[in-house]
């Protein structure tokens, strides 16, 4: 029984329904005064301030209905519902159009009556101009009064002197937002820009200095305590150079988000954030064909495996934004599944979402899911990806990454899915560890199924490098190490990896799926590889510390299964032009290995065999896995390293 007190509508004071009750009378009085003065001034100008008695009488007879006309039109277009002290370009545009309409009505009446008892046409036109400027000045003055005098917080707070790096449209919008919100405790002092045509000019009352290389001197002279990078289209090298200069000067700095975010949400101080490693990547963000992706996903039933992981989560969010008929989230981790389901339901409340707790290694559960939901598209992101962890338990890596892919792919084929996209990794190229080998096996498996008789599903794989800020990547590890004062651990001074942001990786997956015809492996042109040592140094600097002085960098040595450098293509793969300038399409050589049959023969023995046996099986069946090492301890085996009694050895094929 509901014990809460019932509140009747009649008990609410009428004043509660009319917030800002004095706003309308104030606007009526102010606008009326402006319109009367504008009309009289227009008439006086027409006759050089010597108004004939006849036209003065016409003015007295006309001013009442002119006021009613203008005020009625302003009310009709919602001008009296606006806040008094807030005024911007959309408000000015609305007032201009409304007063132009009022002037048009007056001119129509003049032509209809032949001008009898009407004010001259020139007076009507000048009255329109003066009325617009009068109202604009009035509302602007109210806004300035609010910004400069009504913010008590700004009078009490110590305002930090801020320089904006980038005197473009984004920087100008940011400066205007800072000036409009003195309560933020920031004072925009100047702009800094490299464009010679802007240096020395003023923007929103702020002088533009240059160039960026002179920043330390400029900032010291102007006593700047904080800088904001407002260059969303700048190359990452420019951001990196600017951050280095600011760190050298000891100046705190923030950055505005990407161009896409700005286009969708506008430029405000609320969008400021700290500079992240993504901002320092050595390439510009990839622009994708959104129309093709929408055509792929719209009104389709889409299944994402591993939906709770870093890639799976972003996949689910980007797919949801393209209006699928149904989105199926398959994830075996219940907390992660719950979180992504809640996020999608919050962001896309009208989307049909099915959250399914299941493992890709459970064939019967997969069969039930596919039979119930009949997905058109499958994005297979479920995988174990931690190299050292999987090196210690290779059976689990093969079971989840290889068998899981096989079970999903076979089920998709049986149920007539249109497309199946495997999320792969550059570690599958000449794999030196079990995780990479398990993903290479997955690539070979979908290639074999693609070329099998009777297959109607289009299979493809997307291969990319390390993903910044994903779970288990070096970025969150470095961040935690910096937070506790170090040291930051790097495996080797020369270790380097390809990096991309999570949204970029997912964009590549979706773009590739849109143009896949079956049997391809797509790879993003990820630019130059990044040295892990340099990434560690940049992250230390981003946190305001000096590498090796405040936070030491310690080299721990390569772990088993790790390589100094990664590559993205096999020697046997032909490279063709892709569907996008930044995407390469690899055409793998068809290998008649009967890998599915060989894998099936190991199904019931994979978890009971020694790591050395599993390593050897991989070498026997994956021709390019010769770089693998066998130095990890044996788990799930007897102390002698032999198979456990009663469990047959893994079936092996003779090495070619």
Residue 312: per-residue pLDDT: 92
- 544 pLDDT exceeds 60? yes
- 4 pLDDT exceeds 50? no
> How confident is the model over 447-499, as pLDDT tens digits?
889 888 888 999 999 887 777 666 666 777 887 888 788 788 888 888 877 77
Residue 329: per-residue pLDDT: 96
Q: Return d(Cα 170, Cα 268) in angstroms, integer.
A: 9
pLDDT band at residue 637 under the 50/70/90 scheme: very low
Residue 7: per-residue pLDDT: 35
Residue 577: per-residue pLDDT: 67
* Phi and psi at residue 561, to the nearest 5°: 90, -10
The first and second tokens of residue 597, run together, are: 């049959």
- 630 pLDDT exceeds 60? no
pLDDT band at residue 601 under the 50/70/90 scheme: confident
- 85 pLDDT exceeds 70? no
Ordered domains of the chain (ranges, CATH): 19-150 (no CATH), 154-275 (3.40.50.720), 290-463+501-533+571-587 (3.40.50.720)
Residue 254 bridge partners (DSSP): 228
Residue 469: per-residue pLDDT: 62
Task: Give one DSSP letter per residue of 408-459, joined into a string.
Answer: HHHHHHHTT-SEEEEE--GGGSS--SHHHHHHHHHHHHHHHHHTSTT--SEE
> How confident is the model over 261-318, as pLDDT tens digits?
444 444 444 455 555 555 555 555 567 788 889 999 999 999 999 999 889 999 999 9
Residue 523: per-residue pLDDT: 82
Residue 382: per-residue pLDDT: 93
> What is the arithmetic mean of pLDDT over 153-160?
56
Residue 11 DSSP one-character state = G
Whether 582 is catalytic is: no
- 94 pLDDT exceeds 60? yes
Instruction: Give the count of beta carbons closer than 10 Å to the beta carbon of residue 400.
Output: 21
> How confident is the model over 546-564, as pLDDT tens digits?
788 888 888 888 776 667 7
Q: Which has more confidence, 443 or 505?
A: 443
Q: What does pTM read for this prediction?
A: 0.61
> How confident is the model over 64-77, as pLDDT tens digits?
888 888 888 877 87
Average pLDDT, the chain: 77
- 646 pLDDT exceeds 80? no
- 401 pLDDT exceeds 90? yes
Inter-residue contact 523 to 464 (CB < 8 Å)? yes
- In 533-653, the DSSP E strands lie at 553-555, 574-580, 583-587
Q: Return d(Cα 622, Cα 428) in angstroms, integer.
A: 11
Residue located via tokens 């889409």: 302
Residue 5: per-residue pLDDT: 38
Q: How far is CA 428 from the centre of its chain?
A: 28
Q: Ranked by mean pLDDT, which of 99-113, 312-326, 501-515 comes out on top? A: 312-326
Residue 645: per-residue pLDDT: 32
Q: Which of 70, 385, 419, 427 is catalytic?
A: 427
- 593 pLDDT exceeds 60? yes
Residue 302: per-residue pLDDT: 96
Residue located via tokens 């999903």: 408
Average the pLDDT over each of 169-173, 224-228, 289-293, 513-517 and give the range with the smallest value.
169-173
Average the pLDDT over each of 164-173, 431-440, 508-517, 634-643 and give the range with the smallest value.
634-643
Residue 466 bridge partners (DSSP): 499
> What is the arithmetic mean of pLDDT over 232-247?
77
Residue 166: per-residue pLDDT: 85
> How confident is the model over 349-376, as pLDDT tens digits?
999 999 999 999 999 999 999 999 999 9
The first and second tokens of residue 538, run together, are: 């940049």
- 380 pLDDT exceeds 80? yes
Q: Which has more confidence, 12 or 596?
A: 596
Residue 15: per-residue pLDDT: 38
The first and second tokens of residue 341, run together, are: 């389901």
By the 10 Å C-beta count (0-12 exposed, 13-18 middle, 19+ buried), 338 is classed as middle
By the 10 Å C-beta count (0-12 exposed, 13-18 middle, 19+ buried), 221 is classed as exposed
Cα–Cα distance list, 330 to 40, 298, 424 (Å): 73, 20, 18
Residue 464: per-residue pLDDT: 79
- 633 pLDDT exceeds 50? no
Residue 296: per-residue pLDDT: 92
- Share above pLDDT 70 across residues of the chain, in percent, rounded to a whole number: 75
* Three-state secondary-structure class, residue 200: coil
Q: Burial code of 539-567, b = ≥16 C-beta within 10 A, e = fewer? A: bbbbeebebeeebebeeeeeebbbbeebe
Q: How far is CA 560 from the centre of its chain?
A: 35
Q: Which has more confidence, 103 or 288?
A: 103
The first and second tokens of residue 112, run together, are: 């209809």
- 84 pLDDT exceeds 70? no
Q: Which has more confidence, 273 or 408?
A: 408
pLDDT band at residue 245 under the 50/70/90 scheme: confident
> What is the arithmetic mean of pLDDT over 575-597?
71
Q: Return d(Cα 412, Cα 206) in angstroms, integer.
A: 61
Q: Return d(Cα 498, Cα 41) in angstroms, integer.
A: 70
> What is the arithmetic mean of pLDDT over 197-217?
82
Taking only Cα atoms into account, the Rg of the chain, rounded to an integer number of angstroms, comes to 34
> What is the arithmetic mean of pLDDT over 142-149?
62
Q: Return d(Cα 388, Cα 611) in angstroms, integer.
A: 13
Query: Who contacts 268 (Cβ-Cβ below 8 Å, separation ≥6)?
Result: 174, 177
> What is the arithmetic mean of pLDDT over 599-603?
85
- 124 pLDDT exceeds 70? yes
Residue 87: per-residue pLDDT: 59
- 257 pLDDT exceeds 80? no
In 3D, which of 69, 160, 165 has the Cα closest to residue 108? 69
């Amino acid at each position: 029984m509901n014990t809460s007190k019932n509140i009747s509508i009649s008990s609410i004071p009428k004043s509660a329904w009319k917030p800002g009750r004095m706003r309308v009378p104030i606007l009526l009085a102010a606008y009326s005064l402006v319109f009367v003065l504008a009309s009289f001034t227009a008439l006086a100008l027409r006759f050089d301030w010597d108004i004939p008695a006849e036209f003065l009488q016409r003015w007295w007879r006309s001013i009442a209905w002119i006021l009613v006309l203008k005020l009625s039109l302003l009310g009709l277009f919602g001008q009296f519902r606006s806040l008094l002290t807030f005024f911007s370009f959309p408000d000015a545009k609305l007032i201009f159009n409304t007063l132009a309409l009022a002037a048009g009505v007056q001119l129509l009446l003049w032509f209809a009556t032949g001008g009898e008892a009407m004010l001259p046409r020139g007076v009507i036109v000048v009255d329109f101009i003066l009325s617009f400027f009068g109202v604009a000045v009035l509302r602007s003055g109210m806004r300035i009064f609010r910004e400069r005098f009504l913010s008590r917080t700004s009078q009490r707070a110590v305002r930090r002197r801020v320089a904006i790096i980038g005197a473009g449209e984004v920087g100008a919008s940011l400066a205007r937002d800072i000036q409009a919100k003195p309560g933020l405790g920031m004072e925009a002092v100047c702009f800094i820009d490299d464009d010679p045509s802007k240096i020395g000019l003023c923007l929103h009352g702020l002088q533009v200095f240059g160039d960026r290389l002179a920043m330390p001197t400029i900032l010291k002279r102007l006593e700047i305590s904080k800088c904001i990078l407002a260059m969303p289209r700048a190359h990452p090298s420019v951001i990196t150079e600017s951050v280095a200069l600011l760190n050298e000067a000891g100046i705190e700095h923030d950055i505005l988000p990407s161009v896409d975010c700005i286009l969708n949400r506008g430029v405000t101080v609320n969008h400021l954030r700290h500079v992240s490693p993504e901002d320092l990547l050595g390439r510009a963000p990839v622009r994708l064909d959104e129309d093709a992706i929408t055509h792929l996903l719209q009104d389709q039933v889409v299944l994402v495996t591993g939906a709770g992981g870093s890639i799976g989560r972003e996949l689910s969010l980007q797919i949801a934004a393209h209006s699928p008929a149904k989105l199926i989230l398959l994830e075996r981790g219940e907390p992660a599944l719950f979180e992504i389901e809640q996020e999608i339901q919050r962001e896309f409340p009208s989307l049909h979402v099915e959250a399914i707790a299941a493992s890709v290694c459970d064939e019967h559960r997969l069969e039930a899911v596919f039979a119930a939901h009949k997905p058109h598209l499958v994005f297979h992101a479920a995988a174990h990806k931690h190299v050292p962890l999987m090196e210690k338990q290779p059976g689990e890596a093969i079971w989840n990454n290889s068998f899981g892919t096989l079970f999903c792919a076979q089920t998709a084929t049986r149920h007539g899915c249109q497309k199946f996209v495997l999320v792969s990794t550059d570690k599958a190229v000449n794999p030196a560890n079990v995780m990479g080998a398990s993903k290479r096996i997955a690539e070979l498996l979908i290639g074999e199924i693609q070329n099998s008789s009777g297959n109607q599903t289009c299979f493809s794989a997307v291969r990319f490098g390390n993903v910044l800020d994903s779970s288990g990547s070096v970025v969150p590890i470095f961040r935690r190490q910096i937070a506790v004062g170090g040291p930051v651990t790097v495996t080797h001074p020369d270790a380097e990896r390809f990096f991309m942001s999570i949204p970029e990786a997912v964009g590549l997956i979706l773009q590739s799926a849109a143009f896949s015809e079956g049997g391809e492996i797509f790879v993003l042109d990820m630019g130059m590889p990044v040295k892990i040592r340099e990434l560690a140094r940049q992250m230390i600097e981003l946190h305001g510390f000096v590498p090796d002085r405040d936070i030491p960098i310690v080299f721990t040595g390569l772990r088993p299964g790790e390589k100094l450098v990664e590559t993205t293509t096999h020697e046997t793969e032909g490279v063709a032009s892709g569907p996008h300038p930044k995407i390469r399409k690899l055409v793998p050589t068809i290998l008649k290995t009967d890998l599915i049959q060989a894998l099936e023969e190991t199904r019931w023995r994979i978890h009971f065999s020694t790591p050395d046996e599993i390593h050897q099986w991989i070498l026997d069946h994956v021709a390019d896995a010769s770089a693998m090492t066998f130095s990890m301890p044996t788990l799930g085996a007897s102390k002698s390293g032999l198979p456990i009694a009663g469990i047959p050895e893994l079936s092996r094929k003779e090495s070619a």
